[in-house]
Amino acid sequence: MTPVLPTLAQEAAAAAGASPWPCGALAPWACDPACSRGRRHPEAPAPTRNPFQRDRDRVIHSTAFRRLVYKTQVFLNHEGDLFRTRLTHSLEVAQLGRSIARALGLHEDLVEAIALAHDLGHTPFGHAGQDALNACLLGQEGPWAAEPRGPDEPHGGFEHNLQSLRVVDELEERYPEFDGLNLCFETREGILKHCSHANAEWLEAREPGGVGARFLRGESPSLEAQLANVADEIAYNAHDIDDGVRSGLLTLEQLEQVELFDIHRREALAQHPHLTGRRLLYEAIRRMLSAQVYDVIAATRAVLHATGVCSVADVRAQPPLLGFSPSMREASARLKRFLLVNLYRHPQVMQTTARARQVVADLYRAYCADPARLPGLRRRAGLSLRRQVADHIAGMTDRYAIREHERLSGQRLFA
């Protein structure tokens, strides 16, 4: 017998019924582009796009965004064509973010702009590259630490969230009248997910009441920023399982230890008893993703209702309101621990990590010792040499860094 499928109109009506907000309507706790705190450099409004749409478009057209395609998420770009890169990760975060934003009456374009930009400051080789660059800048490498810090330069080592902000504020060179992309306050606030106290003070001195202020005042960011953060976590928990199994470093049997995954694997099997292999994996991940998305929506609606917030100002004065229910938070934390022990610290991943750290540290030492080896470097006033070298390395793709390391050292660390 042919199953009775819902019509598209029925599907749309069901989705609308699940949201108390008419399609496209903003809830009172959403960021309204008409009330944006604006751009650092005043610009005429775009005739057909709201400011957050325009930010999203600027991010997509940036050079840093295109580089994400050749930057590591967990597996190096050359290890396989189907693994997530920073680019596909960012697209998945944007998709999850938009989906949840619509159900909560948040501004979808703002969530998308933040999601697409959130990893722009990542170094090549993911966290390994970042840790190495951080160690270099903290003065554990070479005599260059003695050079004084420039006024346009953040404190200390390398923070990737701050670097993402510096990319959109300063490092992109596209517009005639200003450095960076000149994004709205709300987008920049979302990009700066974390910030050390020293750097928050440094930002505050340069831009009083700006994106550093909330770290000093202990305020929360907008719900759109909170959402981009949660969507990031949902995305990588799911796709790292997929990539982990694809790489052969994780097995489906191992994943049975993870309750959050296993509930959905068993449900999928109960409904489709003959499901095996890839299709079983995909179906379990798909159900797990949906469960987390619906959990965030329901838990956040309940919290918004209980706290009675009715403006963005109310949101800022509260601790973060958008997130999982307590039981899902615990289940997600257990999944993260599993991935840390079994995937991120897998001996094969650690071996790649060690080589990646060496590439970054060797490049840093070589360029600092002889800046002429960096033909593209135009010295900028207000920044020390070591910070400019770090900015240059942070902008590299994995494969460019590997080639550059081979050129300078004659060593071939990656086949």
Closest CB 127 distance from Mg ion, rounded Å: 11
Identify which range of 111-119, 176-184, 341-349, 382-390 contacts Mg ion by CB under 5 A: 111-119
- Which stretch in 115-123, 181-189, 251-259, 335-343 sits in contact with Mg ion by CB under 5 A? 115-123
Tell me the closest approach of the beta carbon of residue 292 to Mg ion, in angstroms: 16
Give yes or no for a contact between 383 and 154, defined as CB atoms under 8 angstroms apart: no
Considering the rule CB under 5 A, would residue 232 count as an interface residue with Mg ion?
yes
Among candidate residues 134, 121, 152, 180, the one with its CA nearest the CA of residue 383 = 152
Report if residue 153 touches Mg ion, rule: CB under 5 A: no
Closest CB to Mg ion among 131 and 232?
A: 232
Residues pairing with 85 in the sheet: 72
Return d(Cα 71, Cα 409) in angstroms, integer: 22
Q: In terms of CB distance, is 94 or 171 closer to Mg ion?
A: 94
Smallest distance, Å, CB 360 to Mg ion? 19
Residue whose CB is less far from Mg ion, 96 or 368 = 96
- Output the six-digit token pair for 101: 């934003």
Helix ranges (DSSP H) in 208-258: 213-217, 223-247, 252-255
Least distance in Å: CB of 86 to Mg ion? 7
Is 232 or 243 the residue whose CB approaches Mg ion more closely?
A: 232
Distance (Å, whole) CA 414 – CA 232: 29
Q: Which stretch binds Mg ion (CB under 5 A): 97-105, 184-192, 218-226, 230-238?
A: 230-238
Q: Which listed range, 8-16, 114-122, 143-151, 393-401, lies at the site for Mg ion (CB under 5 A)? A: 114-122
Residues in the chain: 415
Closest CB to Mg ion belongs to which residue?
Answer: 232
Q: From the CB of 233, what's the least distance to Mg ion, in Å?
A: 9
- In the stretch 236-255, what mask flags binding to Mg ion with x, by CB under 5 A? --------------------
Task: Return the range that interacts with Mg ion (CB under 5 A); candidates 147-155, 178-186, 226-234, 255-263.
Answer: 226-234
CB 112 → Mg ion: shortest distance, Å?
A: 14
CA 159 to the chain's CA centroid: 13
Token pair recorded at residue 401:
């860094």
Backbone phi, psi, residue 283, to 5°: -65, -40
Q: Taking the complex as a whole, how short is the minimal distance between the CB of residue 97 and Mg ion, in angstroms? A: 11
Complex with Mg ion: residue 89 or 387, whichever CB lies closer: 89
Residue among 279, 350, 283 nearest 74 (CA): 350
- Spell out, one character per residue from 375 to 394, where the chain touches Mg ion: x when CB under 5 A holds, - when not: --------------------
Residue 119 lies near Mg ion (rule: CB under 5 A): yes
Is 169 a binding residue for Mg ion by CB under 5 A? The answer is no
Does the footprint of Mg ion cover residue 233 (CB under 5 A)? no
Cα separation, 145 vs 202, in Å, equals: 19
The helix-helix angle for 86-104 and 223-247 (nearest 10°) equals: 140
**Which residue in this structure is represented by tokens 């615990």?**
330
Torsion-angle region of residue 312: left (phi > 0), alpha (psi -120 to 50) or beta? alpha
Q: How many helices (H) and strands (E) does the chain have?
A: 19, 0
Closest CA to 235 of 286, 164, 190, 289: 289
- In whole angstroms, the minimum distance from the beta carbon of 197 to Mg ion comes to 23
For Mg ion, the closer of residues 159 and 232 by Cβ is 232
User: Using CB under 5 A as the criterion, which residues of the chain lie in contact with Mg ion when the complex forms?
Assistant: 119, 232
